Amino acid sequence: PGSPQKRAASPRKSNVLAPHVRRALRNGVASGALKQVTGTGASGRFRV
Query: Which pLDDT score is estimated for 5?
Result: 58
By residue range, what is the domain housing residue 35? 18-48
Query: Which pLDDT score is estimated for 46?
Result: 93
Q: Kindly state whether residue 39 falls inside one of the protein's structural domains.
A: yes
First to last CA, the chain: 43
Query: Which pLDDT score is estimated for 34?
Result: 94
Q: Kindly state whether residue 33 falls inside one of the protein's structural domains.
A: yes
Q: Kindly state whether residue 9 falls inside one of the protein's structural domains.
A: no
By the 10 Å C-beta count (0-12 exposed, 13-18 middle, 19+ buried), 46 is classed as middle
Model confidence over 1-48: pLDDT tens digits? 555 555 555 566 668 888 999 999 999 999 999 999 999 888 889 999
Q: Kindly state whether residue 7 falls inside one of the protein's structural domains.
A: no
Q: Kindly state whether residue 8 falls inside one of the protein's structural domains.
A: no
Query: Which pLDDT score is estimated for 10?
Result: 56
Q: Kindly state whether residue 40 falls inside one of the protein's structural domains.
A: yes
Distance CA 42, CA 21 (A): 8
